Amino acid sequence: MLNVAVIGSGTMGNGIAHVFAQYGFPVTLIDLNLDNLNKGLATIGKNLDRQVAKGTLSEDDKTAIMGRLRPSTSLEEGVRDAGLVVEAATENVELKLTIFRQLDELTPAGCILATNTSSISITKIAAVTKRPESVIGMHFMNPVPVMKLVEVIRGYATSDAVTAQVMELSRQLGKIPTEVNDYPGFVANRILMPMINEAVYALYEGVAGVEEIDTVMKLGMAHPMGPLQLADFIGLDVCLAILRVLHDGLGNPKYAPCPLLVNMVMAGRLGVKSGEGFYKHTAGSKELIVAERFRR
């Protein structure tokens, strides 16, 4: 069985590790911060408990899955025997380039180096390694244990064999992989982020309120979540970063982030992760309450 290493134990990293372990892969979950690593493992345990409560897994299944997970605070030790590494660190270009330079030196020959980036160029990341043909995007959707899509992104030099292997691995996880090419935002965020940005502009320009905008999109377009609620869920800082990648990479003013979004990020109103964005978010509560400044 292929040994998998996942770098980063945050929301995406622990979700990716969860899914690989659930489908039988031995997984090393790597985070240099021990507290974050323990939180990531605890989150996996809680999510497995939910699956047990729903009857989709047994207690024995949960025990087996947790037994396939090995935590590590050492990148060198964690990737030593990996056949696949999935990087799920913060969406920061320089950080990812640094990680991939290290992975190129530390991983065995033949190891596939994948990144869960939602917008950063695979070609740029691959260029800092001596094996660009083995570097690929493996963009999971949040929440990873639930969402079926994996956006598989080919860099300029990614080989057919590596692409085929990652597509098949995604299917083995019960996912539906979709192959796309390496251009800013790929497919998912090139389409999603301008929609979210336009929703923020509609609020900024006084076209409608937060609840009204989200209701129109939920009931009129059959979206399960309105764009402003979704932006809170993704993280307004992440939305802003992706829009800047689109704007810089494509040079089209239609991708310029709304000033309201920029100001909210500068003010630390990042959505769920900070407790407030377009809505107020209370731990343990699913009730949607519009943030005070946006109430009519």
User: Would you say 1 and 24 are in contact if contact means Cβ atoms under 8 Å apart?
Assistant: yes
Mean pLDDT (the chain, rounded): 96
User: Residue 296: pLDDT above 80?
Assistant: no
CA-based nearest residue to 93, from 62, 65, 122: 122
* Single-letter amino acid code for the residue at 228: L
pLDDT of res. 285: 80
Q: Which member of 47, 72, 116, 118 is catalytic?
A: 118
pLDDT at 221: 97
Active site residue 139: yes
Q: For residues 18 and 97, is the Cβ–Cβ distance under 8 A?
A: no
Tell me which of 47, 116, 139, 276 is the catalytic residue: 139
- What are the φ/ψ torsions at residue 86 (nearest 5 degrees)? -115, 110
Work out the percent of the chain whose per-residue pLDDT is above 70: 100
Residues 140-156 have pLDDT tens digits of 999 999 999 999 999 99
> Contact, 203 vs 185, CB < 8 A?
no
Domains of the chain by range and CATH? 4-181 (3.40.50.720), 189-294 (1.10.1040.50)
Please identify which of the residues 14, 119, 134, 189 carries the catalytic annotation. Answer: 189
Q: Mind listing the pLDDT tens digit for each residue in 265-295?
A: 999 999 999 999 999 999 878 788 999 999 8
Closest CA to 288 of 225, 237, 240, 234: 225
pLDDT per residue as tens digits for the range 212-236: 999 999 999 999 999 999 999 999 9
DSSP string, 30-85: E-S-HHHHHHHHHHHHHHHHHHHHHTSS-HHHHHHHHHTEEEES-HHHHHTT-SEE
Residue 200 has pLDDT above 80, yes or no: yes
Q: Is 50 exposed, middle or buried (0-12, 13-18, 19+ CB in 10 A)?
A: exposed
DSSP 254: G
Does the annotation count 151 as an active-site position? Answer: yes
**Between residues 287 and 3, the one the model is more confident about:** 3
